[in-house]
Amino acid sequence: MEAKWYEEGLKMIEELTSNAEQIQDDLLKGILSRNAGTQYLRRFLHGQTDKQYFKENVPIVSYEDLKPYIDRIANGETSDILLAEPITAFFMSSGTSGGQPKLMPVTAEVAQLWAMFRTLYESPVMKHFGDLNKSGKRMEFMFARPEIETPGGLKATSVTTSIFKENGFIAMLPKLYTSPVETIFCPETQQSLYCQLLFGLIQRGEVAMVGSFFAATVLRAIKFLENHWQEMCSDIKTGQISHRITDIGCRNAASLIMKPNPALADLIEDICNSKSWEGIIRKVWPKARYVGCICTGVMEQYTTELEFYSGGLPLVSALYASSEAFCGINLEPLCKPSDVSYTFVPNMAYFEFLPVKNDGNEYIEMGSKNEVTETVDLVNVKLGHCYELLVTTSRGLYRCKIGDVLMVTGFHNNAPQFQFVKRQNVAISVDQEKTSEADLFKAVTEAKALLDPIGFILTEYTSYADTSSAPGHYVLFWELKEKEGNHCTEPDPKIMVECCVRMEESLHYTYKIYRKKNIIAPLEIRVVKQGSFEALMDYYVSKGASFSQYKRPSCIKSKEALKILDSVVIGKFFSPKPPL
Ligand code: AMP
């Protein structure tokens, strides 16, 4: 009998994880022998390709260190200053550098690597839930991001968008997914989401999984359904798509699929009309076996609500990947989101691990305080220890930090398994955007300049990621003081609204894109009474923070701390329009 594709995938996982050390060493050797002559590596390697020499001489870097090379290539220089293979495009990461998206070189090998990674991360999932390719369709919410062209003529887009553009993906879409390609590439997110939900409802009997890349998107989609199901049911009843959909591609796709189906509309109406939406995903899509989306890291904040809607369907986080490299797969798809570990795949990149010390809530890089430290190889990491991940790829990243802290939770054969601990240097995030303390500080600095002419000073601020409603939004708590006198009158609301606008305009590229697409809701400033930040400090000190070393958090995570600030709010102001 013909072996199932995912059984082949499972076999491959066993082979790769059993030979992790050899595969890693061979991979590095290959990368160095091909790239040692590039302008970047030549300076450090002088033609050597030995692993030890590489570790002793090539510096550990972050994106900023490689950026001058990447920028030169983006501006038209040949890619061999950094990597031997020709660059075919760039991935735009959700991380930013100086307000601009980070650009990661892409070469021809990426498509093959992704195809293999996809087989590997889907195999354990199919083992548990059966072969979805045979038994139904995936209702995955997918959104292509805009593509930009660099001055040198190379295209830059997100990893997911580049996957959506692959011919192989487009060819299998009608058979395996409920969303037509036109809806994925529709530039209007709201229209795209409306159509993807509508087509998912029409094909409800075939839907075998519901999902998206990240948990936040699934939640956003369900909440959108909560607000629009009546309209969608009316579309299904009449076989005509709502006038709100003006995108030609979406309307054409609808005309191919839709015909009047009053019985289906009534059925969905009945389900959606129920008082509680608990378990709605299971009720609307009764054949769905799981909800597939990343639920770890910053997405963990959405799991409780998603569990409410999913009605006991397992939430499956299948993979851990970034624009820099595809990294790990989840071998236990039924595991609770808080317990998920990712097994590293040794042929995806050469991985090194920089030990970090867990110092309370701070993860401090060892070696950052004059301690000499060495990176640890993939197979030599220690159970229970935390590390920052470095990758070396044949795509021009050499010992590059990707900014994630991971903890070793076990091994599968010889490949370690990691829990995602946190993202370094991210203060606030409500979706995939990453806003650092420095990003926040810059935006606050720009905005508070507006207070000066009206005689106010910003004395303290902090932030909070409010995800209680979808989409989530940034809340800034501001404590103000009048320049003259001690009592504080309310500042001019018009100026405060202007401060919200200025903040959004001063935030980074990814924030602005997400805001324009309504993936992030309007930024809010909550002005608090004078003395509120002292009360906040008292709270943290009462919880064990050192009085002398107290540093106000750049983002509030604790519910109690939030309560303290929320109880003293004297004014709330929202940005009225997306930033330019
Ligand atoms: P990007 O480069 O924009 O694709 O973002 C990649 C980043 O998203 C990673 O470096 C992680 O910080 C985060 N990420 C990706 N997959 C996961 C996951 N499974 N769990 C937690 N965070 C993740």
The DSSP H or E segment spanning 135 is: helix 132-135
Ligand 1 atom with minimal separation from the 294 CA: 19
State whether residue 240 is helix, strand or coil: coil
Q: Are strands 569-574 and 207-214 parallel, antiparallel or unpaired?
A: unpaired
Mutate to test the pocket of ligand 1, among 322, 400, 406 (most ligand atoms within 8 A of CB): 322
The DSSP H or E segment spanning 171 is: helix 167-176
Mutate to test the pocket of ligand 1, among 212, 214, 294 (most ligand atoms within 8 A of CB): 294
- Sequential DSSP letters for 259-314: ---HHHHHHHHHHHTSS--TTHHHHHSTT--EEEEE-SGGGGGGHHHHHHHHTTPP
For residue 101, report the distance from its CA to the centre of ligand 1, in Å. 15
Q: How far apart are CA 53 and CA 109, in angstroms?
A: 26
The residue whose CA has the least distance to atom 18 of ligand 1 is: 320
Q: Give the DSSP letter of residue 452.
A: G
* Residue corresponding to tokens 């199901």: 229
* Cis peptide bond upstream of 59, omega within 30: no
Residues in the ligand 1 pocket, defined by CB under 6 Å: 93-95, 159, 294, 296-297, 317, 320-323, 402, 404, 420, 423, 432
- Sequential DSSP letters for 13-42: HHHHHHTHHHHHHHHHHHHHHHHTTSHHHH
For residue 241, report the distance from its CA to the centre of ligand 1, in Å. 36
Ligand 1 atom with minimal separation from the 92 CA: 3
For residue 414, report the distance from its CA to the centre of ligand 1, in Å. 24
State whether residue 509 is helix, strand or coil: helix
The residue whose CA has the least distance to atom 6 of ligand 1 is: 322
The DSSP H or E segment spanning 207 is: strand 207-214
| Residue spans per domain, the chain | 2-109+320-423, 131-288, 427-574
Ligand 1 atom with minimal separation from the 319 CA: 19
For residue 261, report the distance from its CA to the centre of ligand 1, in Å. 41
The residue whose CA has the least distance to atom 20 of ligand 1 is: 296
For residue 402, report the distance from its CA to the centre of ligand 1, in Å. 9
- Cα angle 24, 25, 26 (rounded to 5 degrees) comes to 95
* Residue corresponding to tokens 């369907």: 313
Ligand 1 atom with minimal separation from the 328 CA: 19
For residue 458, report the distance from its CA to the centre of ligand 1, in Å. 34
Query: Are the CB atoms for 225 and 193 separated by under 8 Å?
Result: no
- Return the CA Rg of the chain: 25
Mutate to test the pocket of ligand 1, among 404, 407, 409, 429 (most ligand atoms within 8 A of CB): 404
Q: By C-alpha distance, which of 114, 206, 97 is closest to 168?
A: 114
For residue 25, report the distance from its CA to the centre of ligand 1, in Å. 25
Q: Give the DSSP letter of residue 177.
A: B
Q: For the chain, 580 residues long, give each residue's pLDDT as a single digit of tens.
A: 556 899 999 999 999 999 999 999 999 999 999 999 999 999 999 989 999 999 999 999 999 999 999 999 999 999 999 999 999 999 988 776 666 778 999 999 999 999 999 999 999 999 999 998 888 999 999 999 888 899 999 999 988 899 999 888 999 999 999 999 999 999 988 899 999 999 999 999 999 999 999 898 898 899 899 999 999 999 999 999 999 999 999 999 999 999 999 999 999 999 999 989 999 999 999 999 999 999 998 888 788 889 999 999 999 999 999 999 999 999 999 999 999 999 999 999 999 999 997 654 455 555 554 454 789 999 999 999 999 999 999 999 999 999 899 999 999 999 999 999 988 878 899 998 889 888 898 999 999 999 989 999 888 899 999 988 889 999 999 999 887 765 567 789 999 999 999 999 999 989 999 999 889 999 999 999 988 988 998 888 787 766 666 777 888 988 899 999 999 999 999 999 999 8
Q: Give the DSSP letter of residue 565.
A: H
Ligand 1 atom with minimal separation from the 159 CA: 4
For residue 297, report the distance from its CA to the centre of ligand 1, in Å. 8
Q: How far apart are CA 181 and CA 250, in angstroms?
A: 9
The residue whose CA has the least distance to atom 10 of ligand 1 is: 322
Distances in whole angstroms, Cα of residue 264 to Cα of each of 238, 285, 345, 375:
11, 12, 44, 58
Question: Cβ-count burial of 48 within 10 angstroms (0-12 exposed, 13-18 middle, 19+ buried)?
Answer: middle
User: pTM of the prediction?
Assistant: 0.84
Indicate if the alpha-carbon torsion angle 82, 83, 88, 93 is positive or negative: negative
Q: By C-alpha distance, which of 157, 151, 162 is closest to 73?
A: 151
For residue 12, report the distance from its CA to the centre of ligand 1, in Å. 24
Ligand 1 atom with minimal separation from the 317 CA: 19
Ligand 1 atom with minimal separation from the 402 CA: 10
Q: How far apart are CA 447 and CA 460, in angstroms?
A: 13
For residue 141, report the distance from its CA to the centre of ligand 1, in Å. 18
